[in-house]
Amino acid sequence: MNRQTVRLATRSVAGLAVLGLVGIVFPFVLRAQSDACPSSPALRKALWQPYRSPAAISVGLTDPIMLPQTATWLIIDTKDGSSVPVKSVDYPLLTGQHYALSALIVPERPLAVDHTYYLLVQSIVFEHCTSPPKTMTPAAVAMERPKNAKQNFAFSVAKGRDDSDFYFAPTIDGASGQKASYTLDTKFQYRKSLLSPQFGTGVPYRPAIFFIPGWDIKVSSNPKQDGNSVNSLVPLEIVAPVDPASLPSLSKIVTAVVSQPGFVAEADKKFHDVNGVFADYEYVLLHGFGGHNLWVSPEPTIGFETGSNLKAQSANSYSDSILRADFGMRVGLDIFQSKAKSKPLFSIDADYIRRLLLHPEPTYTQDSKGNLQLQSVGTQPRDHVTVKISYNVVSYVALTAAYEYGELPPVYTKVDNKYTFGVTFLGQMQYRPGSKAK
Amino acid sequence: MSVAADQQLGADQVAQILADCIREAGGENNEIVLTKTLQSYGFHFQNQVDNLTAVIIGNADFGVRKYGFRLSGDALNFATPSTTLSDVADAIQDKATPAP
C-alpha cells in the first residue's frame, strides 16, 4: 500500500468517524421531539367525479387523519349561495395503513357543471392533534381537468447541484497560505424522455430512457483550481427498476439500476489538455435505511471510460488510448429536525470514486502561475472524494461546507484537502400543471 | 380497467399511488404528508427520484397503470429530491389520462 493510499484511507476513516458521530448523536438529540400536530393543514384538489359510483367529490388532505371522524362537510354553490346537501362522506384508508389522506363527499344531487362550488369542512381532526384546526381554507371544486395541465413553466426549489436544471454558485475559497479566490460554478441541462417505462404483472418489461444534454463548467480566479473544469455532456440515462413481480427477492435489496452512458469532453480550464471519452456509469440503487430523524441512502457505482486524447499538454504523455475501470460509492445522509418539517435540516453527500487506469495517463502539477507541469505518466489508481454538508436556511438558500481530496481527469492535478464554504442559490425549471409561472 | 376519456384519478387513488410507489422505489415507509419533500422519504439523489417516477409511470401493479391510466415519460421530469409530494400528486392527477 503506497503512501497516497494510506493518507486517503486515513482521511476516509476520519470522515467516516465524523459521519458516524453525527449519526449516533443526532438521533438522541432529536428523539426528544414528539410527533407534531400539523400547523396549517389544508384541503387539496377537490374534484367532481360524476363517473364514480356513486358520483362524488374527491378531495385530498395535506396531512393524515385517523378514523372515526365527526367532521361536517359543506358544499356551497356560489351561484346562489345555497348549500348542496351531503348524502354521505367516506374516508378511504390507504391499503395496509391506519390513516386516510382523502375524503369522498357524495352530494344528494349531481353538481351542475356550469356552477362554481366550494367545499368546506368543520371539526375535522388531524393525526397528532387534539382539536380541529382553527381555520381551514375552503377548496374550489374543479369540474374538469385544467386546460393548461401540460404547458406551464414554473420555478421550484432544487436540493443541490445534482438535481438542478440550472445551477449558479459563486463561492469564495480559502486555504492556509493562499489568498482568497473566487469561483463560479454553473450548470445547465435539458431532459427529454425517449422511452416511457413499463413493467409489472402482465406487461412486457421496458426501462425508462432519457436524453439529457447540457454543460457543466467551473471557472475560478485560483490558478490552482482543479483541472476538471469543463465538461460538455451528451448523456443518456436509463432507469431500470427491479420488477418486484418477477424478482421479488432482489427487489427487497436493489430497487433499480441507473445507467448513464454518454460522450464527455474532459478538459482543463485552459483547454491545454482535452480528452474525448465515452463513459458509462452504473448506479445500483439500494433500499435506504434509518428512522424518522436520520435516513441513509447508499449507491454503489461501477463504470468504465474509454476514448482518446485529442490535445495534449506534453508530447508523448499519452502512449495509448484512454481506458479506465471505475468503482465508487455515493452516500446521502439526511438529518431531520422533526417529523413535521418538510425538508431535512442537514444533508450530507459523500461521493468517492477510484479510477483504475488500464492504460498510462499523465499527472500534472500546477506552478504558482497556473501552468501545468508534467509530473509523471503511469497507471497508478486515481482517487477522488468529496463530502458536502448543506444546512437549509430558507427554501432557495443553503449554507454549504464542502471537502474535496483527490485527482480528476484529464490532468489529475491533486486537489489536496480543499475546503469550500458558500451560500448557494438554487433553482430548477419545470413543467408544473395548473399554475402559472411564478 | 376501462375508464372514460374525460376521467381523472381521484385524490384517494393518487394518495394510494404515492404510498405504494414510495415503498416500491425504496423510500422510507412513513405516513404520507403532502407538504413534505421527496427527500423526506429517503430520495436523496436525483437518480433515486428518477426511479420513483419510473415506478409511478410504469409499474402496472402500483403506479397509475393500476387504475387504467397512463402518464407520458416526461410528465414527472420536474421532480427532484426537493419537490413536495403535493406537486407530484398534482401532476399525477392533472396529467394522467385514461389508457386507450
Check residue A227 and give left, alpha or beta (phi > 0: left; psi -120 to 50: alpha): alpha
Phi-psi region of A90 (alpha: psi -120 to 50; beta: other; left: phi over 0): beta
Q: Cell numbers of A228, please? A: 476538471
Written out in words, the top-level CATH class of the domain with range A43-140 is: mainly beta
Other residues' Cβ atoms within 10 Å of the Cβ of residue A412: 25
Could you tell me which CATH class the domain A151-431 is placed in? mainly beta
Cis ω on the peptide bond leading into residue A54 (within 30° of 0)? yes
Residue A330: pLDDT over 50: yes
Domain borders along chain A are 43-140, 151-431
Q: Chain A closest CA to B52's CA: distance in Å?
A: 9
ipTM of the predicted structure?
A: 0.91
Q: Considering only the beta carbons, identify the residue of A103, A260, A433 that sits closest to B95.
A: A433
Cα–Cα distance, A15 to A401 (Å, whole number): 14
* Chain B environment of A152 (Cβ under 8 Å): none
Angstrom distance (rounded) from CA A143 to CA A58: 11
Q: Which residue has the higher pLDDT, B80 or A159?
A: B80
Residue A366 CA to residue B92 CA, distance in Å, equals 52
Span A265-296, pLDDT tens digits: 888 877 788 899 999 999 999 998 887 778 89
Residues of A in contact with B23 (CB under 8 A): none
Nearest to A159 among B34, B39, B74 (CB): B39
Contact B60 A191 (CB under 8 A): no
Cα of B97 to nearest chain A Cα, Å: 10
B57 vs A292: CB contact, 8 Å cut-off? no
Of A61, A62, A297, the CB nearest to B45: A297
Beta bridge mates, A136: none
pTM (predicted TM-score): 0.82
> How many helices and strands (H and E) does chain A possess?
2, 26
Residue A285 touches chain B, beta carbons under 8 Å: yes
Phi, psi of A402 (to 5 degrees): -135, 150
- For A192-222, the pLDDT digits (tens) are 899 999 999 989 999 999 998 877 776 666 6
The confidence band for A135, taking pLDDT boundaries of 50, 70 and 90, is: confident
User: A22-26, A174-178, B21-25, B51-55: which has the minimum mean pLDDT?
Assistant: A22-26
Share of chain B above pLDDT 90, in %: 67
Whether residue A107 has a cis bond before it, omega within 30° of 0: no
Is B26 in Cβ contact with A255 (below 8 Å)?
yes
A53 in B contact zone (CB under 8 Å) = no
A-facing residues of B in 17-76 (CB < 8 A) are: 19-20, 24-28, 30-37, 39-40, 42-51, 53-55, 57-63, 65, 71-74
